[in-house]
Structure 1
Amino acid sequence: MSLDKEGNNGTKNKKELFLENLADRQNEAKVVRRVVLVAAAALVLIIGIASLSIFLYINSALKPVEPNSKKEIVVDIPIGSSVSSISQTLEDKGMIKNARVFKYYVKFKNESDFMAGEYHMNPSMTFTQIIDSLKTGKIMQKPVFSITIPEGKQLDEIAAAIAKKTNQKESDIIKQLNNETFIQSMMNKYPDLLTTEIMAKDVKHPLEGYLFPATYSFYKKNPSLEEIVSVMLDKTVNVVQEYEVEIADQELSVHQFLTMSSLIEKEATKKADRNKIASVFYNRIKEKMPLQTDPTVLYAQGKHKAKVTYKDLEVDSPYNTYQNKGLPPGPIANAGVMSMEAALHPEKTDYLYFLASKDGKVYFSTTLEEHNKLKAKYISNN
């Protein structure tokens, strides 16, 4: 009897032990679940608080520093300033609360083309107002003077326009624009735009074609020529950057791109199809034919006139595209956006010739015979 009793007791103890262990494991699992839930809840709460804090911080940074302020703050944005330096300047001047937030806001909005100048602002301005001001050059004061450079103008004409608006002599401006030391300083400042190609032996004026046609406003009475030229080069950089991929796709250098654009600009009229003119130039290059474009002859002579004579075609110059194949050594004028886009997107044609009648209409042909017939009809008989 005692063995059975001990046996029964032993069996009972094992069952009880199993149940106790099972209960313990279940309790442990409940505790672990509670800990995990509490930890998860805490983590979510921390993330939520952090996110809210960041949101509130950024939201605050986006608001004007002093919404009701009427005081004037002078903010000087030097030529060539980056977004980072502009952001820091605005923070230092008390125009914005956080430079980093402003910088990322500008990048997120894909804003660019900020203009140098002395800005008169106030702390009540929003980010949008500040950006619009920096982009348009509105600085709460009238410019001292403005210089308008039309499309198709050459360096000597641009120099004359600068001289007319400043106290500088045209001859001195031309001299400095061709000065090697001055050009090298500009090349150092704009290495992606101004390459060694502009200093090639046959290039007439290193900066020809690089001063973008636009209206430029200045807020100092006597800005230096470097300041004036830098504003123009800034604009050219911004425009050319938009076409970087397409320029590479055409296997052109920036210098070649601006040269081709200048030829199209000088040949185009208001009624002309620039893309077709571009196709003629590219087709002739492909066929190893000289471009034979009259504006290059006039540029070689340094003349500005409406008509080219047979005697003009005899000028001995690397710019004379009647005597030399391919592109001239460099641009012969500045080009506008329409001509730049035509240089990158020539129409697909077989045209090898074109001519403009006196009324400005342009006629295209594929053979010399066709061209001569058109010439006799629209040029020779007029």
Structure 2
Amino acid sequence: MKRKIFTILIILGLILSAGLLFVYNWFNEMLQPPADSGISSEKIVLVPKGTSTAGIANILKEQGLIRSSGAFRVYTYYRGLESSLQAGEFSLKTGMTVPDIVNLLAYGETVSLTFTIPEGYNLTQIADRLAEMKLADRNRFLKAAETADFDYDFLKGIPKGPGRLEGYLFPDTYRITKDKTEKEIIAMMLKRFSREITPEFKANAAKVGLTIHEAVIMASIIEREAQKDEERPKVSAVFLNRLNKGWKLESCATVQYALGKQKARLLNKDLEVDSPYNTYKYYGLPPGPIASPGSASLKAAVSPADVGFMFFVVSEDGRHVFSRTLNEHNRNKALYLNSIKTP
């Protein structure tokens, strides 16, 4: 009797071992690439935020990147990486094994995209560029700029609404993943802007009698008026000298912002537009920035050249001709009449 029981146990053990060996071999096979031809092709896979391990497995199975969604889940659980799988866009190949894919999703970099915002772009131009590149929805971007919360000292006191972040989305080249939301993109640009508001910038703004917001407004005007970095401090001096004397700024750039379009040359009727941004009509700085200033314009706004210039015109090569008196200015206007773009 004992011999029979022993024999049965041996048979059951062999069956169990064979079963375990079969499962082991099957599982290892399921971890291998689905493509047997040896030809590996690249696929871009988007893993949305909040996707579960099962959801990721289904995405990979549908894309033909794994043989078994169940095997993927079991392997991920075995590695203890269920909570480590990242969201975003990933570049995967059909020749990758499940361990390769799991490692990439857990530790690798997502596919990044780049976009560049030129200096002098305004808020709507930024939204349009991102929409054209299919990186953001234009309306959602502008809505986030109006209403979303961003914790930066330089934004305190600026009421929510259209144009709230005008001038504060720093012009630069950015790398993002395709799953970035409009608010996250804005946050990146604000964080980059914050690096410009140094203690030195704040101190210099106070020296010339400007708040941080006023300095950004001034920088935005300089950005739109000047083409040459070396001339920005002189352009800054002209506008600050005008403010200190109680003169109107008479900036064509602010009028163009009021008109909502860029014109190569303004007409007399354009200078009559009734807008607080029309500095030909109203004294002082406009109520907000008119564009995104770069580093050179921000620095110039709070560090003007020590000159007594009150006027300038632009010559055909884009350089400014500065003058101290109205008579000098009128002579320069007559000389460079065909290329006048600024007061």
User: Scaled by the length of structure 1, what TM-score is found?
Assistant: 0.58
1-side partners of 2:243 and 2:136: how far apart? Answer: 41
Q: The residue matched to 1:197 in structure 2 has which SS?
A: coil
Equivalent in 221, 229, 240 of residue 186 of structure 2: 229
Q: Which residue of 1 aligns with 2:131?
A: 163
Q: The residue matched to 1:354 in structure 2 has which SS?
A: strand
Cα distance change, pair 326–376 in 1 and its aligned pair in 2 (3 A): same
Cα distance change, pair 380–232 in 1 and its aligned pair in 2 (3 A): closer
2-side partners of 1:247 and 1:217: how far apart? Answer: 31
What amino acid does structure 2 have at the position aligned with 1:195?
A: K
1-side partners of 2:270 and 2:230: how far apart? Answer: 24
Equivalent in 135, 142, 149 of residue 174 of structure 1: 142
Q: The residue matched to 2:195 in structure 1 has which SS?
A: helix
Q: Which residue of 2 aligns with 1:270?
A: 228
Structure 2 residue 282 is the aligned partner of structure 1 residue 314: no
Q: Which range moved further: 271-280 or 154-163?
A: 271-280
Equivalent in 197, 205, 212 of residue 240 of structure 1: 197
Deviations 1:254-296 (A, max 9, x none): 1111001111111001376111111100110111110001010
Structure 2 residue 114 is the aligned partner of structure 1 residue 146: yes
What amino acid does structure 1 have at the position aligned with 2:132?
A: K
Structure 2 residue 303 is the aligned partner of structure 1 residue 345: yes
Q: Which residue of 2 aligns with 1:197?
A: 158
1-side partners of 2:272 and 2:319: how far apart? Answer: 27
Equivalent in 319, 322, 340 of residue 361 of structure 1: 319
Equivalent in 284, 302, 305 of residue 242 of structure 2: 284
2-side partners of 1:350 and 1:204: how far apart? Answer: 37
Q: Which residue of 2 aligns with 1:333?
A: 291
Deviation at 1:301, TM superposition (A): 1.2
Q: Which range moved further: 251-260 or 150-159?
A: 251-260
Q: Do the aligned residues in 2 keep the contact of 1:213 with 1:334 (CA within 8 Å)?
A: yes
Within a 5 Å distance, the mapping from 1:43-122 to structure 2 comes to: none
Cα distance change, pair 193–143 in 1 and its aligned pair in 2 (3 A): farther
Q: Do the aligned residues in 1 keep the contact of 2:124 with 2:142 (CA within 8 Å)?
A: yes
Q: Do the aligned residues in 1 keep the contact of 2:144 with 2:183 (CA within 8 Å)?
A: no
What amino acid does structure 1 have at the position aligned with 2:112?
A: V
Deviation at 1:142, TM superposition (A): 6.3
Q: How many residues align?
A: 236
Cα distance change, pair 245–167 in 1 and its aligned pair in 2 (3 A): closer
The structure richer in helix per residue is 1
Q: The residue matched to 1:280 in structure 2 has which SS?
A: helix
Deviations 1:215-258 (A, max 9, x none): 11013x22111110001111111211352332233332211110
What amino acid does structure 1 have at the position aligned with 2:173?
A: T
Equivalent in 213, 218, 222 of residue 255 of structure 1: 213
What amino acid does structure 2 have at the position aligned with 1:349?
A: V
What amino acid does structure 2 have at the position aligned with 1:378?
A: Y
Cα distance change, pair 326–381 in 1 and its aligned pair in 2 (3 A): closer
Q: The residue matched to 2:115 in structure 1 has which SS?
A: strand
What amino acid does structure 2 have at the position aligned with 1:314?
A: E
What amino acid does structure 1 have at the position aligned with 2:144?
A: Q
2-side partners of 1:229 and 1:338: how far apart? Answer: 22
Q: Which residue of 1 aligns with 2:20?
A: none
Cα distance change, pair 240–368 in 1 and its aligned pair in 2 (3 A): same
Deviations 1:171-212 (A, max 9, x none): 34223322x3x2xx12xx22x12021355xxx8500000001
Structure 2: gaps (5+ residues)? 1-86, 89-106
Q: The residue matched to 1:327 in structure 2 has which SS?
A: coil
2-side partners of 1:355 and 1:167: how far apart? Answer: 39
Q: Do the aligned residues in 1 keep the contact of 2:249 with 2:280 (CA within 8 Å)?
A: yes
Structure 2 residue 165 is the aligned partner of structure 1 residue 207: yes
Q: Do the aligned residues in 2 keep the contact of 1:283 with 1:351 (CA within 8 Å)?
A: yes
1-side partners of 2:115 and 2:172: how far apart? Answer: 8
Q: Do the aligned residues in 1 keep the contact of 2:218 with 2:289 (CA within 8 Å)?
A: yes
Q: The residue matched to 1:216 in structure 2 has which SS?
A: strand
Q: Which residue of 2 aligns with 1:53?
A: none
Deviation at 1:379, TM superposition (A): 1.4
Q: The residue matched to 1:355 in structure 2 has which SS?
A: strand
What amino acid does structure 1 have at the position aligned with 2:129?
A: A
Within a 5 Å distance, the mapping from 1:33-48 to structure 2 comes to: none
1-side partners of 2:299 and 2:181: how far apart? Answer: 32
